[in-house]
Amino acid sequence: MQAPIDVLKDVFGYASFRPGQEEIVNEALSGKDVLGIMPTGAGKSVCYQIPAILKGGVSVVISPLISLMKDQVDALRQNGVRAAAINSSLSWDSVSDVFSAARRGTIKLLYIAPERLDRKGFREFLSSIDVAMMIVDEAHCVSQWGHDFRPSYLNIAPVISSMKRRPVIAAFTATATEDVREDIVRQLALESPFTLVTGFDRENLFFQVETPGDKMAFLMEYVKKFSTLPGIVYCSTRRAVEETCRKLTASGVRAVRYHAGLDDSERLRNQDAFISDRADVMVATNAFGMGIDKPNVRYVIHYNMPGSIDSYYQEAGRAGRDGSPADCILLFAKSDIMTARYLISQWEDEEIKKSGYLKLCSMIDYCNTSGCLRAYILGYFGERRGLKSCGGCGNCLSSADRADITIEAQKILSCVYRMEKQAGGKRFSASSVTEVLLGYCGENILSLGLEKISTWGLMKDCNADAIHDVINFLIAENYLREEDEECPVLSFTDRTLPFLRSKRRLMIRRHGKNTQGESRLAARLINADF
């Protein structure tokens, strides 16, 4: 049998393996199940394509998007590899030809959508051929605790168990927390898999959170500053996509739109325009991006906050796949929280909904932390390596003023404690705490006697938004906990009382223009050799 390194050189034109690739290839060739957690751009496809080429029989690749299948199959055929795809865009005669070729053994890799496994005829076809490997791409879609959950992925394990001979199972994804990784193993029934997590860090990506008073003005200024560079703007709703794209095009930007409400022909037309550089900006919902191979995306701007770090990092990771500098900027507003909570509230499964609120809390904390943004993301995915400052994110480079909020924090924490005590253990939302601190006399406050506690009106000279900012900071830094409910309430954490009893000072980075970070951004983009 030809050596894997020879296939890498002769078929794919690479001189050496990237980190993690060779180990996964060798384990798959030895007949062991594998789970690869590798960031975007790490070369996941090579990890299963080389074993598929070297093994006998057909390797079936389960992929969520037709566009992804087409790109992979076209690239493999150009390299002389016998590959094919079966999807809804093919006629029955074309599908029948693929079936015949697979039975004759003239196909090495067969790409299908997970929904294809629902069909009895296709399951019978699988039983009639020699399946060497079942490869699950975007494997996080099998987990209800992850993002982009696809119910059809749950059919994979039952179909495999019905086969006469169990093939090797190889699963891959770019982002997965430890809980999601365990769920992937369970849902796909992987048998003692070789698991490799190559790391989540993308050193070429610059992370920044901005809280502009006018998001559209910020976006316009940024996009026009880098008007010749391709970028993606993500919005949380179709309506926001339409409005944002309209304003960009009206200002002369070559922008196109993408969301599930458009017909297939327009989505494909706009996607092709962006990939082929006939459009500079793609404005989209999260319906766009998975499997899109455009390596030179120089920025991803989230016009609205996503519902989870998982989704954010997956979408932001579509920038800079070529390894050159790229920017990941999140435009945060408090209204984004309400939108995200509403979207989660529409989910039917209560357990998944509860998980969604927990993930949303982590996303909100990311937007409010004054610490290193890169360290926060890596820590979320379980990669804790003592990184306190990366020296290359918006927070680490910020020249914004730092203000001492120790007294404000003590007042807020004291108010949370006294409100709960006065109400007999009832907990309250951040908005209710703010109202008490401002000295409001609403019906809810008076009915519980909260106007009688010592912290009522204690911050009446403050602005409500400023109090909310401090509360959000305390949550982000784990001095307060926001329970995972549709209408979250505040409670103490293990850090609260030690802080109140100490002389520690709390410093917050006040929101505003991040001039040092912006100049660094411009320098990185303008000076990069694209």
Residue 513 confidence (pLDDT) above 80 = no
Look at 148 and 228; give whichever has higher pLDDT. Answer: 228
Burial (CB < 10 A; 0-12, 13-18, 19+), residue 18, is middle
Same domain, 386 and 502: no
527 falls within a domain: no
pLDDT for res 448: 94
Same domain for 192 and 254, yes or no, is: no
Give domain status of residue 378, yes or no. Answer: yes
Single residue among 176, 197, 218 that ends a domain in this structure = 197
Residues 51, 74: Cα–Cα separation, whole Å: 19
Asked if 384 and 429 sit in the same domain, the reply is no
Q: Could you tell me if 394 and 408 lie in one domain?
A: no
**Mean of all residue pLDDT scores within the chain:** 89
Query: Are 123 and 177 members of one domain?
Result: yes
Please tell me whether residues 388 and 434 are part of one structural domain: no
Asked if the structure places residue 314 within a domain, the reply is yes
CA 328 to chain centroid, in Å, comes to: 12
- Where among 338, 372, 399 does a domain terminate? 399
Q: How many domains does the chain have?
A: 3
Domain boundary among 360, 377, 399: 399
pLDDT digits (tens, 9 = 90+) for 446-493: 999 999 999 999 999 999 989 988 998 899 888 998 875 667 899 999
Asked if 31 and 119 sit in the same domain, the reply is: yes
Whether the full predicted model's pTM is greater than 0.85, yes or no, is no
Q: Give the mean model confidence (pLDDT) for residues 304-318.
A: 93
Residue 391 domain flag: yes
Question: Which range marks the domain in which residue 87 is found?
Answer: 4-197
CATH number at residue 427: 1.10.10.10
DSSP 509: E
Q: Quick one: 175 and 238 in the same domain? A: no
Does residue 515 sit within a domain? no
Residues 444 and 309 in one domain: no
Give yes or no: residues 183 and 239 share one domain: no
Q: Report the alpha-carbon distance of residue 373 to residue 206 in Å, rounded.
A: 9
Q: Are residues 157 and 188 in the same domain?
A: yes
CATH code (residue 176)? 3.40.50.300
Asked whether residue 93 is assigned to any structural domain, the reply reads yes
Q: Judge contact between 64 and 38, C-beta under 8 A.
A: no
Select the more confidently predicted residue: 70 or 396.
Answer: 396
Same domain, 225 and 160: no
Say yes or no to pLDDT of 89 above 80: no
**303 touches 233 (CB < 8 A):** yes
